[in-house]
Chains A and B, each alone.
Chain A
Amino acid sequence: MKYVEPTSLSEALEILAGDDEARCLAGGATLVAMLNADLVEPSTLIGLRRIDELAGITATGDQLRIGAMTTHAQIAVDGRLTGNAAVVRDAARQIAHPAIRNMGTIGGAICHADPNADFPGALVAANAVLVAAGQSGTRQIPADEFFLDYLETSLEEDEILSAVMLPVEPSGAGARHLKFSRTHGDYATVSISLVLVLDAGACSYARVAVGSVGPTPLHLTEVDEILTGSDLAGETIRQAGRKLMEAADPVDDVRGSAEYRRMIIPGLLQRAVDELREVG
């Protein structure tokens, strides 16, 4: 196995295009474990850490650009991720343990597309757009369309995820990523990512995604619509929760049965709303 560290995105894309068996290495938190377990045997590892275009967070007008190589730890402490974008920051802060947050990157997390991970749901709730770079240019993919299936994304084999774009709008939004897991630092049994705009108790904007209850984040426009324009009374949230519960398609695994995961969605949604209201 070869290891290379290109210093520009175009160089990296060229190597990737020229070798079917090449693979990008971001933080390595997942990929190195997979290598150790003999689950993957790439011919070349393309280390992305020297590529400046993939690093750091920048504010560009109505958007925040998070480079793919930004670590969970960097995202967790960046004060610019407020309002709508705060759901991503709230998710980053709850991923695993400090060691993983220091190594793992948002790009790696998204490209791995583990449905039990925290970012996918948070990015859907934040209405994020993912930027895929290829040799012929870049594509902008809404988060809702990026995650296709368990460990499967709409990224092409010769593309590299370069950035995550987070809209600053809607203004006045509050956000919460509620993670429920077996132990501190475990993957979520169920997670709720929620963005709301509240005007004197009434909800003028809502976007909810549920993680760990299907192969991709669960997002129903219908549910956003039930909440939007309501005063978020208990019955409204129960109705929204029931819709999500019915649409959820979780699996039975060591973190809980499918039945159990479905059962707790409405209660967790209520809790996420309560917690968001509390912090304002």
Chain B
Amino acid sequence: MSANMADNMQVNPIIGASVPRIEGPEKASGRAIYTDDITRPGMLHAALLGSHYAHARILSVDTSAARALPGVKAVLVGTDLPHNYIGMFIKDQLPLARDKVRYSGEPVAAVAAIDVQTARRALRLIEIEYEELEPVTDIEEALKPGATVIHEQRDEYPTMYELPREPNAICFTEFMEGDPSSAWDQCDVIVEDEYQVPAQYHMYMEPSSTVAEMDGNGKVTVWTSTQGVARSQMYTALAMGLPMSKVRVIAPRIGGGFGGKCEFTNQPITALLAQATGRPVKLTFSREDDMTMMKRRHGGRIYMKTGATKDGTLVARDCRIVLDGGAYADESPEVSPVAAFFSQGPYRIPNMRVEAWSVYTNLSRASAFRGFGNPQATFASESQLDDLAEQLGMDPVELRLANALEQDDKFFCGKTIEKATMKACLEKVRDASDWAGKRLHGTPARPGKKRGIGVAGMSHISGLAGAGANVLLNEDGSVTLNCGAVDIGQGSDTIFTQIVAAALALDMDQVNFAAPDTDSSPYQFQTSASRNTYVIGNAVKKAGDDVREQIYRHAGEILECNSADLELRQGGVVGVKGVPDAALPFAAIAGRALWQEGGPIMGTHNWLYTPQDRMDPKRMLLRGFALMPDAIGIFTFGAQVAEVEVDEVTGQVEVLEYWAAHDVGKAINKASVEGQIEGGIVQMLGYALTEEMLWDNGRMINPTMMDYKIPGMADAPYKIHSLLIEEAEESAPYGAKGVGEICAVGPAPAIANAIKNAVGARVNQIPATPERVLKAMQSADDAD
């Protein structure tokens, strides 16, 4: 038994408790400080001018009228800035466009003025002469020989991976396992289809916002709405040509991110304005600016073909994924490979080939978004499984159970499954939803509606990149935890506080969670990839354990006993097992350490997920992965069931009830886990039914909340049943692994499969708008 498991046997009851959010009171009372609430002495306000055109050459810029406007302190255009390209895997963008604009909305000029109104007025005085170019808006067209080239100098950009030949391709990935070309002969049933998925906007409540200020020594301080202070620090430094030691980033409260505030948003340009003016500058986007200038989920097309034998054994799959990466690469070089990786789904498919592209287009930037390519691939895969089940005359859950990955199976490309809980998830969701009853007998629908039920299975990962944590013992025996992790609303501040409280048997208010600040926090990747609880939680727990060991060493010396004879008592007391009177408050130990022996107690730990087994390049063909998929973490599994009603007149779909079974390892905070699952489902209900960014010849036509519709409270199912499976993961803190993304992977196919069950029509394109559903119903009728 590992040390970790031994700890788990006597876990403090705070682990698993639905303790309230530590920042709850300030949020509920409206006193939480977000970036836009911050004011600095002499602060200026900024606004950006977005390009009108989707693709154009900038011929000339005249900013004289804008500069002359009273109250304007700086006007910057691309040529005013250092020529420092930024980007995650390929450095292909500048904070302001220089020679060319590549999407409508791309920032071309920035103004800092005494107030926002003046800044906006100045924008209207900037004159730019463009030479319009053909916008490339279709991904297949973009890949064709002779297509208009979006980045002429693509091959000169610094990259971390091998670029494909096609000039508009961002990346190309190919995996192959078994012998997919000959395996089709063994199949009794083959289904083949094409699927289309939309560009989805992150719609975090708080639009991107940054305040930047440069001090007299040339060091910049940045307060920003970000998913990671170290990432913002790196890109700001890069854009300014400064070492990271000259940039400090602080995260106040964050109003949501969902992947959109990973890497960078508007930090670089705000810092450049602060540098240009010598004054603090605030830049907060309007919703429309955020929707047109910032990032989104990759839309795209997926071709998929799957074959099985009569008994329902999956044999082969062929898949081609083409994702619209937008004008700049951002995380694309990892998103389409992740989509390719998860195109297998949580099933054994011995013969499989997949290729995945991310393609430059003259649309806004596609980036990380909850699920990171997986929802796209899984929409195709899970839709196809239901069609296969239908042709085989099998129940969809049975087909999934028959092929679900099991213990010691290897995932696509040879990564071993650590804990095979796929079957458990399917069984749990099947039983809880009364699947058999509903599927066989149906439930009566309301007048004018048809009712149906659908399932989807899913897998994801948890564990990307490294983390560190410090736990400092204060003189009164309370502690301060500093790990640099940004809570973007999902609740990680509370989770980490619970972990430290458990490790040291402290009460929640004896643990101070230090706000992320690059001047003091341990280096940290960002809040993404379902990694906080698992990766950062590991560092946090072990830093807490480290403090406990040091407390035990002191206590052993004072009480003259062995560490093994010591125990923690709730509230910051160490005592001798079985001897109630032999006890010392942490304060006594902190005092001794400070004044007499050894110096202040600081616990510290750094942690990085290390794969058990590396991918086997002999076993499969694998190319074009910027990060090796074996290094991105442990597997997680889930299964979801949706019950819907479809309106016979309008085709509108209503999701009535939802069941979601997820293997979370261990729920450190049950209410938080349920919140994540419910939030993921409702967000992706929008993806499945209403959300779609639309462009007309490269101009976004719905960049407002009025035109782009996310679901509201009344559109959510009346009940979402979160069904937790808690099989402790050995490598995880208290057994807990991430759930933030996987819950968002299943809704689109579960809903599409429920629509099929309700009305007999397959919707291959999401969102399944009333119009698309009605048309699918009509063609299904025509086919009968």
Contacts and interface: CB of A to CB of B under 8 A. Distances in A.
Contacts of A263: 774
B783 interface: no
A271 B770 contact: no
Interface in B700-719: 701-702, 706-715
B747 to A, nearest CB: 16
B769 interface: yes
Given A254-B702, A256-B770, A263-B774, A180 B650 contact: yes
Interface in A221-280: 254, 256-257, 260, 263-264, 267-268, 270-271, 274
B770 A186 contact: no
A201 interface: no
Nearest to B120: A38
B649 A264 contact: yes
B649 A183 contact: no
A105 interface: no
Chain B interface extent, by class: 20 to 34
Interface string A103-135: 000000000000000000000000000000000
B771 A260 contact: yes
Interface residues of A, number: 22
B773 to A, nearest CB: 11
Contacts of B652: 180
A105 to B, nearest CB: 19
A256 B771 contact: yes
Interface in B260-301: 288
Interface string B94-134: 00000000000000000000000000100000000000000
B770 A183 contact: no
Given A182-B709, A254-B701, A267 B771 contact: no
Nearest to A270: B649
Contacts of A187: 706
Contact of B649 (A182, A185, A186, A267): A267
Nearest to A36: B286
B707 A260 contact: no
Contact of B690 (A38, A183, A268): A183
B694 interface: yes
Given A260-B774, A263-B774, A271-B448, A186 B650 contact: no
B187 to A, nearest CB: 38
A182 B654 CA distance: 11
Nearest to B711: A183
A187 B709 CA distance: 11
A245 to B, nearest CB: 13
A110 B650 CA distance: 27
B557 to A, nearest CB: 63
B420 to A, nearest CB: 39
B778 to A, nearest CB: 9
Interface string A146-183: 00000000000000000000000000000000001011
B236 to A, nearest CB: 30
A220 B694 CA distance: 34
A80 interface: no
Contact of B707 (A180, A254, A268): A254
Contact of A185 (B447, B690, B712, B770): B712
B712 A183 contact: yes
A189 interface: yes
Contacts of B690: 182-183
A268 B650 contact: yes
A189 B651 CA distance: 13
A186 B771 contact: no
A257 B650 contact: no
Interface of A: 37-38, 97, 180, 182-187, 189, 254, 256-257, 260, 263-264, 267-268, 270-271, 274
29 contacts: A37-B288, A38-B120, A97-B712, A180-B650, A180-B652, A182-B690, A182-B769, A182-B770, A183-B690, A183-B709, A184-B712, A184-B713, A184-B714, A185-B714, A186-B706, A187-B706, A189-B770, A254-B707, A254-B708, A256-B770, A257-B771, A260-B770, A260-B774, A264-B649, A267-B648, A267-B650, A268-B650, A270-B649, A274-B447
Q: 5 smallest A-B Cβ distances: which pairs?
A: A267-B649, A184-B714, A260-B771, A183-B709, A254-B707
Given A183-B690, A185-B712, A187-B706, 10 more contacts: A97-B712, A180-B652, A182-B769, A184-B714, A254-B702, A260-B770, A260-B771, A260-B774, A267-B648, A268-B650
